[in-house]
Amino acid sequence: MTDTSTDAADHPPHPDCDTRTDPDTSEAKPSNGAPGEVPPEEGAPEAETADAPDMTAQAPDVTTGAPETEIQDHPSAVTPRESEPVNRDRASEPRSAGVPVRVRTLVIAAAATGGWAAVVSFAPVLVVVLLGWFGTTDVSGGTAVRFAVTGWLLAHGVPFAAPHGQVGLVPLGITALVVWRLVRAGAHTARAVATGPRDVPYVVGALGIGYGLIGGVAGYVASTGAFDSSPLRAFLTAGVLAAASSAPGALVETGAAGELWRRWPEPVREGLRGGAYAGLVVLAAGAALAGLATVMAYPDAVDLYHGYHAGIGGGAGITLVGLIYAPNLAIWGASYLVGPGFGFGVGTHVTLFDVSLGPLPAVPVLAGLPTGPAPTAVGVLLAVPVLAGIVAGVAAARRDPEREWRPLLGGAALTGPVAGVLLGLAAFASSGPLGSGHLAQVGPTWWSVALVTTLVVAAGATLAAGATRLLDAKR
């Protein structure tokens, strides 16, 4: 095929030559019969004929080749270098989901977000310890800081050995802060490295290892004081907690969470939704009950405060200790409503109809614990889990009135196990030892709470869903 730009250079235009512009195509076409004009070949690209009107421009030197713009217009003259797409802002574009993240960027992002999560969650523990330390003269500042590190590890589920025995009752208020910051760390790390769904394991693994190293160092620092913690257990526990907590944040940030949710069958999604709702309702009712009991026992709590003679700073520290253990009391209240109740010492139990307690620590937050069986009229509180299941079942039936019976009842029945697992895990996390001997067992029995919640919520949700469907069909 002959290059028309080269022909134009070898055959200059005739003085009598004129050009016409086709209004439909905006292309300049030479008049018929012009001397020295080489007509374009059939099938030639429009870019070649578009360059034809510029007949008065100086012809390029054929020895050096045509200009770059003319070469790019010609489909057969594109060089390999010019055929590559130009990406002027390659860093700003998201990478392909299958390309592994860059190690250096991932390590820096995970170290920054995980380290910030550790700092934010350690700050309130340090404040509580320092408020108590300011009122003492026989404890050094270094010992106080090491004890704060020990308390921070306890919030991650790492027990420590004290002179009176092993302490493993987790302050869930700090644990909730740790989990929240780690969820955000997963989201921020995924956003920093522009990952796709396939890169979520890289983010979770990097945060798990990095945060585990922070926990291991903290365990080593804590083990040098009077309260001994295991650095290896601190590394493993902190790493597992970081990986489990950061995964939801990374999944949501990369869009994988929504895709995974849509893949579940409708009955499973309905069961997860209803079970989470029922479990949270029972936990909220337990929190309200624990708060009400503490308020009603306010005079006894004030007497316990006065017995410490700790001053303003010490009193503030005692109050903060009660606040960081408030979620534990809320879960104990939920276990109390479900039926199995909880214990505060070996061989003790606290339920609606029977209370057996031994000596209690002189802590104001424990002033609201029941001292005897509740009145018979208060037994209606046992209906709270059933009502939570009924509400979940009605909502499932009303959400999709055209749903068939089998998926409807299947999703309602699954509400019970989901709520049972949720409350069982909460009961497990809220229990632990406060020393040896009598205080070696504190909190609810997790498996009994999970079993009773499963049966009660499943029954309420299934019956409510079926009844609602029948009533709606008669209308």
- Please indicate, yes or no, whether residues 420 and 368 belong to a single structural domain of this protein: yes
87 is a domain residue = no
Q: Looking at residue 48, what is its pLDDT?
A: 40
Model confidence, pTM:
0.76
Residues 347 and 446 in one domain: yes
Q: Is 58 or 438 the better-scoring residue by pLDDT? A: 438
pLDDT confidence of residue 437? 83
Q: Are 215 and 153 in contact (CB under 8 A)?
A: yes
User: What is the arithmetic mean of pLDDT over 317-324?
Assistant: 88
In a domain, 451, yes or no: yes
| Greatest C-alpha distance within the chain | 119
- Count of other CB atoms within 10 angstroms of residue 178: 24
* Domain finish residue from 212, 231, 263: 263
> Do 357 and 302 belong to one domain?
yes
Strand partners, 342: 350
CA dist 336 and 252 (Å) reads: 35
β pairing state of 160-162 and 27-30: unpaired
Distances (CA, A) of 430 to 173, 294, 323, 397: 10, 18, 14, 34
In this structure, what DSSP letter does residue 366 have?
A: G
Q: Is position 364 within any domain?
A: yes
Q: What was the pLDDT predicted at 194?
A: 65
Instruction: Pick left, alpha or beta for residue 194 (phi over 0 → left; psi -120 to 50 → alpha; otherwise beta).
Output: left
**Total domain count, the chain:** 3
Q: Which of 360, 363, 374, 368 is nearest to 294 (CA)?
A: 368
Pick from 277, 306, 310, 280: nearest CA to 464: 277
DSSP 434-460: BSSGGGG-EE--HHHHHHHHHHHHHHH
pLDDT of residue 327 exceeding 70, the answer is yes
> Which residue range(s) make up the domain with 193?
103-263
CA–CA separation, 257 and 267 (whole Å)? 18
Of 263, 290, 308, the residue that ends a domain is 263
Q: Would 88 be classed as within a structural domain?
A: no
pLDDT for position 195 = 63
**Based on the domain organization, do 224 and 304 belong to the same domain?**
no
pLDDT tier for residue 306 given thresholds of 50, 70 and 90: confident
**pLDDT interval class at 163 (50, 70, 90):** confident
236 pLDDT higher than 80 = yes
- Looking at the structure, do residues 253 and 276 belong to the same domain, yes or no? no
Give domain status of residue 240, yes or no. Answer: yes
Q: Is residue 450 scored above 50 in pLDDT? A: yes
Statement to judge: residues 54 and 139 lie in one domain: no
Terminal-to-terminal C-alpha distance of the chain: 80
42 pLDDT more than 60: no
Residues 125 and 140: their CA atoms lie apart, in Å, by 17
Same domain for 334 and 225: no
**Residue 351 CB-half CA count within 13 A:** 12
Same domain, 415 and 312: yes
**pLDDT band at residue 100 using 50, 70 and 90 as cut-offs:** low
Pick from 26-30, 198-202, 251-255, 399-403: least confident: 26-30
Average pLDDT across the chain, whole number: 80
Dump pLDDT digits (tens) for 409-430: 999 999 999 999 999 999 999 9
**In the predicted structure, residue 13 carries a pLDDT above the cut 70:** no
Residue 174 within any structural domain of the chain: yes
Residues 4-11: what's their mean pLDDT? 41
Of the listed ranges 73-77, 252-256, 373-377, the one predicted with least confidence: 73-77
Are 119 and 246 members of one domain?
A: yes
Q: Are 207 and 109 in a shared domain?
A: yes
**Residues 66 and 36 grouped into a single domain:** yes
Q: Provide the pLDDT confidence category of residue 87 given band limits of 50, 70 and 90.
A: very low
92 pLDDT higher than 50: no
User: 431 with 341, same domain?
Assistant: yes
Residue 447 forms part of a structural domain = yes
